[in-house]
Structure 1
């Protein structure tokens, strides 16, 4: 496969619009690509228009099983008029491919797949198995990684490489993630007689103040040397339906990023303590709705997979990752395997306007992944 073909494949995938949906078309594209090179691939449906993809290549002898993974969904492109180039055109300018999902993470996933194809096509002897796990819905909920985990695809592996953007680092650990809503129920009234109502926005405001104080106290007591501190960010609020009425309902959304020392149970406990103290007053009520509750991922710093990565990228540094990945789900099994996140692109460019990936960096990672496969499986 020549340089231009590799670039064209990535452009094709970027041009498939898959913002938190429509991933089945991406999966079918990859399936056809793999099968054109003699690699069987299996579509695993999740819901209408959404499907995971699993494929394997096998060496001449049994050995390690290396799972390689990336997600096929992207976040919404937002206002396309704010982009310098159309977000799904995959145009190349000054050595960069522009488009939603280039960095997060179609470049990394495509590089993993092309490296599999090239290893298969080379007829070079190797041991063991490379298993592709391409997922849907990582950006919202990670439920599709859970589907593959429940089907046993990580129960027998010896290592997992996730191609999220990490430049210039690699990550063996990342924070947990809690996505949640707090729903406030008050009582509507005319704004000229607010004492007749219960203001749901003020209930949420009280929750925010109580939670911030409790979170600050908890995080002062514990800090993870690799991952840092547990964080909680309130990200969306919606309340009221008319400017001259006391709002009877408000929904607050948030995302917490957790470390082992102040973990998911501790943070959810803080939320519930604040809610209980407010509800005890009998003036309106709050309810907690947990949308996603993923634990942190914790891989070994000195694994064989780390050694294989350092062999091709000796200057890479191991850093903790604040963002969550499908690894939080995949590693939640009774199987202790090597785990590393390593891929092209900078996480700071993910979800941004004018998201882009360097063409040469993408191509370099195809070669790096091929070398990692050979090193890890044959050592």
Structure 2
């Protein structure tokens, strides 16, 4: 089946949006995409289960040679307050050339564009100078553990290059570097007492605040500025503690988010926080513990790598103007895939708008269709360049 009909291309995206893969249930989307490749026995379809109902999907086309990875994630975030939507977020609706629905921007439009591009290459029996591998992952929105699992299993080993189809401002930006992320939690254990007699207790909130104040001082030494990404950021995003207003709190917890840059490997932040925890725990009354949630390293890239040059060339040819080459403040699955064996570069280029995680999330229909054509031409051109 050759996807020459725009309605058919749009139908793939609509179907993906209808599947409620809210931080879970990605197998529904994996099943649908696998079925699209079923008419083509030359497509190698593989699954890797993360948990019940959560399947990563890998589809490889082409007979032999270097492999270009094309990646998108199957999960979406929750829609939030439904009253803020003009339509049901899981019943996609087209208005004024825009398709609205949860995941329309982040990033089922990018994923659908990759899939349709690969299906058209198969249907047209397009000769390839290598192979194309779809890496469709679970859990990107909550920790990129699908990409980590695929990487550990070897599916990203020795790629020639990797394209992540995350939204890049309506396909206007070509991303080659991005910030990393560290989510952490600190728990403080104290001792309850009546607030009229605080000397008989240990205030877990006070101890937590002591940690936070000192951590800000120590993080202030990380002063390097990346010319594209800027400096590091550190935000406290959640605090909880205490039992009631007239009791000394026996427990308090804090969650923080650090956005890193290539100049500072994540380990320097781990060391800083762990050293501080150890120092404070040597003091009377302190009992602090620290845990991390799926930290990701910053992606270091070069703006003149071969994959960037090929993408720029194809983009100029298709759109008649150059693409902006820049960086991203957010993390993506590339941080995990780049830990695979071999030495390859990744780029980020996708059709979604700047409405990711918002109500009334949308993608421009024309941008989505243009992305399909770009991915085809880019894959053909990039694999030729590997010979």
TM bucket (normalised to shorter chain) is over 0.9
Q: Partner residue of 2:218? A: 214
Whether 1:343 aligns to 2:343 is: no
Pairwise CA distance, 1:52:
0.3
C-alpha offsets along residues 17-73 of structure 1, whole Å, 9 cap, x if unaligned?
1111110111111101121354342222111110100111105xx432101111111
Pairwise CA distance, 1:94:
1.7
1:1-379 alignment runs, 5 A limit: 1=3, 2-38=5-41, 39-58=43-62, 62-167=64-169, 168-216=172-220, 218-220=221-223, 222-314=224-316, 315-346=322-353, 348-379=354-385
TM-score by length of 2: 0.92
Pairwise CA distance, 1:275:
2.1
Contact 1:187 1:284 in 2 (8 A): no
C-alpha offsets along residues 332-377 of structure 1, whole Å, 9 cap, x if unaligned?
133111311111124x421122211111111110111111111111
Contact 2:178 2:229 in 1 (8 A): yes
Pairwise CA distance, 1:312:
2.9
Partner Cα separation in structure 2 for residue 200 and residue 303 of structure 1? 51
Unpaired runs of at least 5, structure 2: 317-321
Partner Cα separation in structure 1 for residue 92 and residue 247 of structure 2? 48
Partner Cα separation in structure 1 for residue 331 and residue 162 of structure 2? 15
Pairwise CA distance, 1:149:
0.9
Partner Cα separation in structure 2 for residue 307 and residue 368 of structure 1? 14
Partner Cα separation in structure 1 for residue 159 and residue 204 of structure 2? 49
Partner Cα separation in structure 1 for residue 47 and residue 94 of structure 2? 31
Pairwise CA distance, 1:77:
1.5
Q: Secondary structure at the match of 1:281?
A: coil
Pairwise CA distance, 1:5:
1.1
Q: Secondary structure at the match of 1:28?
A: helix
Contact 1:16 1:26 in 2 (8 A): yes
Q: Secondary structure at the match of 1:272?
A: helix
Contact 1:300 1:339 in 2 (8 A): no
Aligned residue pairs, count: 374
Decide whether aligned partners of structure 1 residues 78 and 243 sit closer, same or farther in structure 2, where only a CA change above 3 A counts.
farther
RMSD over equivalenced CA pairs, Å:
1.7
Which has the higher mean CA deviation after the structures are superposed, 274-283 or 233-242?
A: 274-283
Decide whether aligned partners of structure 1 residues 245 and 36 sit closer, same or farther in structure 2, where only a CA change above 3 A counts.
farther
Partner Cα separation in structure 1 for residue 100 and residue 225 of structure 2? 38
Contact 1:189 1:196 in 2 (8 A): yes
Contact 2:156 2:341 in 1 (8 A): no
Partner Cα separation in structure 2 for residue 210 and residue 271 of structure 1? 10
TM-score by length of 1: 0.94
C-alpha offsets along residues 278-311 of structure 1, whole Å, 9 cap, x if unaligned?
3232123111111222212223322332122112
